[in-house]
């Protein structure tokens, strides 16, 4: 596997070493070694069942909810091994936000959706209405949604369009100040116009956040990421700058996938 060179002094958002994962007796990930840089957008591509979403769910420890999952190796996020016994899961979830394939706003108001995570992670500390208003406005402006919803903050979030719901789900993560945003097929439920809007948002967020996006849409990976990882059968085949991967892939398997010969 080839991987972009990382300067000694550059910061990493994620580093995995010899990461293996089993669902019962089925091994889904094999010796994953990855260095993912801070502050950029990295996409993961590959055929269905290759391990992309499994890897993503390992990075925020969602896989732990399944009692038959076993993991070996290490995952460091911002320099800390998130599987260390001393690491609190609530702190992992605060540092790592997750956006799913289908928007999942809570059936409460737009305002309360944005404040939901903030209130959970600041339980016991009362915030003023003015502070809450600022939090809501800042988050919605960041996801380019404020102008559309500022006059209907007390309406149910589920009344929004799918594109707006997905943006709201991203906004809901921001008040707890995560360093890393994981996105699992965030545009798969959207029409082309909604997809374009969410991709523009993702590009706007780069630099402020480290973003790791899983996608089946290779055009999206090419448009909306700076580095790209190609996975096949639970292994990382190639990790390089996105432009290089799509123009001059270094492995035949990558070339075959990009050119549509399988997957």
* Residue 91 pLDDT: 81
- Say if residue 7's pLDDT is above 50: no
Residue 27 CA to residue 68 CA, distance in Å, equals 12
Specify if 181 maps to a domain.
yes
* Residue 148 pLDDT: 95
Specify if 7 maps to a domain.
no
- Say if residue 223's pLDDT is above 60: yes
Count the domains in the chain: 1
- Say if residue 125's pLDDT is above 80: no
| Mean pLDDT across 250-259 | 92
Specify if 263 maps to a domain.
no
Each residue's pLDDT tens digit, 142-151: 999 999 999 9
Model confidence band, residue 262 (pLDDT cutoffs 50, 70, 90): low
Specify if 2 maps to a domain.
no
Specify if 84 maps to a domain.
yes
Specify if 4 maps to a domain.
no
Specify if 196 maps to a domain.
yes
Q: Is 98:169 a contact under the CB 8 Å cutoff?
A: no
Residue 92 CA to residue 191 CA, distance in Å, equals 32
* Residue 8 pLDDT: 38
Q: What is the CATH number of the domain that holds 159?
A: 3.40.50.300
Residue 19 sits in which domain range? 12-258
Each residue's pLDDT tens digit, 86-120: 888 888 888 899 999 889 999 999 999 999 988 88
* Residue 66 pLDDT: 82
Specify if 56 maps to a domain.
yes
What is the DSSP annotation of 186-202?
TTTTS-HHHHHHHHHHH
Residue 151 CA to residue 180 CA, distance in Å, equals 30
Model confidence band, residue 9 (pLDDT cutoffs 50, 70, 90): very low
Each residue's pLDDT tens digit, 138-195: 999 999 999 999 999 999 999 999 999 999 999 999 998 899 999 999 998 889 999 9
- Say if residue 132's pLDDT is above 50: yes
Beta strands in the chain (DSSP E): 12-23, 26-37, 41-45, 69-77, 80-81, 96-99, 180-184, 210-214, 227-232, 235-241
């Amino acid at each position: 596997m080839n991987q972009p060179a990382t300067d000694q002094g550059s910061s990493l958002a994620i580093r995995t070493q010899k990461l293996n994962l089993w669902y019962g007796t089925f091994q889904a990930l094999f010796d994953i070694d990855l260095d993912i840089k801070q502050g950029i957008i990295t996409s993961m591509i590959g055929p269905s069942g290759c391990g992309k979403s499994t890897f993503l769910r390992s990075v925020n420890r969602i896989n732990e909810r399944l009692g038959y999952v076993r993991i070996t190796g290490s995952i460091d996020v911002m320099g800390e091994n998130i599987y260390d016994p001393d690491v609190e899961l609530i702190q992992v979830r605060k540092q790592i936000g997750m956006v799913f394939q289908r928007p999942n706003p809570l059936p409460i108001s737009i305002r309360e959706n944005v404040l939901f995570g903030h209130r959970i992670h600041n339980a016991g500390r009362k915030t003023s209405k003015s502070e809450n208003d600022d939090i809501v406005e800042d988050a919605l402006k960041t996801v380019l949604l404020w102008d559309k919803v500022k006059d209907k903050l007390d309406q149910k979030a589920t009344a929004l369009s799918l594109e707006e719901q997905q943006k709201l789900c991203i906004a809901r993560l921001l008040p707890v100040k995560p360093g890393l945003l994981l996105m699992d097929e965030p545009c798969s439920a959207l029409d082309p116009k909604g997809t374009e809007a969410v991709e523009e948002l993702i590009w706007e967020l780069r630099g402020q956040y480290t973003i790791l996006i899983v996608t089946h849409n290779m055009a999206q990976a090419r448009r909306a990421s700076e580095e790209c990882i190609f996975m096949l059968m639970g292994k990382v085949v190639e990790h390089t700058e996105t432009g290089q991967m799509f123009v001059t892939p270094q492995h035949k398997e990558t070339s075959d996938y990009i050119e549509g010969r399988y997957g």
